[in-house]
């Protein structure tokens, strides 16, 4: 049987702390979440490698370092209400939940949303709610949020997401091309109409699909035809 706990500790030392992410709360959150449980069984042996992995529906579970980087940049505090866009397998939402008070996570693929919700409940991450829907629109009925993190990259930060931040709230998301050539951006809401932004470095994420993101270009099976 694979020693996942030992591999997780080694991943944290090499990929997280070794790259300069030393926030003790973020490190503890990464240590508390078994990444292997958020992967298809045939990929669990690769859970602590330094890279993203496929989870179905053309989506991926993010590289551990990137999850830690985004969570640290979001400066999540105990009691914060957090929105995650692009829930995927639920892994990042689980990490966030170890730091925040409540987490809402949106996933556009209903089958992934259902699987993530069941997985999180089974593992005891009971402060996370998973919603199936268009993440580019945020979750206005649950706003405002102390932090918003997007696990998919859009052409720009949708204004509706910025407006769902509390004053002082932080948004972290990749912005740039549809595939590759993206930059991780952090936005802080200073007052009703003022937002400060900074760049955190180059990244590569799956595209953020939706009304305020990229158009869905996936091929469709014609309805009513064999």
Q: Provide the annotated active-site residues.
A: 62
User: Does the bond joining 144 to the residue before it have cis omega, within 30 degrees of 0?
Assistant: yes
Structure tokens that stand for 110 in this block: 């209903």
Single out the residue of 142, 147, 102, 137 nearest to residue 212, CA to CA: 137
Distance CA 92, CA 70 (A): 10
Backbone region of residue 31 per phi and psi (left: phi > 0; alpha: psi in -120 to 50; beta: other values) = alpha
Q: Where are the beta strands (DSSP E) in the chain?
A: 53-56, 59-61, 81-85, 102-107, 128-132, 145-150, 165-176, 182-189, 195-203
165: buried, middle or exposed (CB in 10 Å: 19+, 13-18, 0-12)?
buried
Single out the residue of 136, 129, 133 nearest to residue 109, CA to CA: 133
Three-state DSSP at 47 gives coil
φ, ψ for residue 31, nearest 5 deg: -70, -25
Distance CA 23, CA 72 (A): 7
């Amino acid at each position: 049987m694979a020693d996942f706990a030992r591999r997780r500790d080694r991943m944290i030392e090499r990929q997280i702390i070794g790259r300069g992410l030393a926030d003790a709360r973020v490190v503890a959150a990464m240590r508390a979440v078994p990444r292997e449980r958020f992967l298809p069984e045939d990929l669990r042996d690769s859970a602590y490698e330094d890279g993203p992995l496929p989870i179905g529906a053309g989506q991926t579970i993010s590289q551990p370092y990137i999850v830690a980087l985004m969570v640290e940049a979001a400066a999540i505090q105990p009691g914060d209400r957090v929105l995650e866009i692009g829930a995927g397998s639920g892994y990042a939402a689980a990490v966030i939940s170890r730091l925040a008070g409540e987490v809402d996570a949106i996933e556009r693929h209903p089958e992934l949303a259902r699987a993530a919700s069941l997985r999180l409940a089974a593992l005891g991450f009971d402060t996370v709610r998973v919603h199936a829907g268009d993440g580019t629109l945020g979750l206005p009925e649950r706003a405002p949020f102390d932090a918003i993190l997007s696990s998919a990259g859009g052409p720009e930060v949708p204004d509706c997401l910025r407006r769902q931040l509390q004053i002082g709230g932080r948004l972290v998301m990749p912005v740039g091309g549809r595939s590759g050539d993206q930059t991780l951006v952090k936005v802080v809401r200073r007052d009703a109409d003022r937002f400060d932004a900074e760049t955190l470095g180059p990244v590569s994420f799956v595209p953020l699909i939706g009304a305020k993101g990229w158009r869905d270009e996936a091929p469709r099976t014609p309805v009513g035809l064999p």
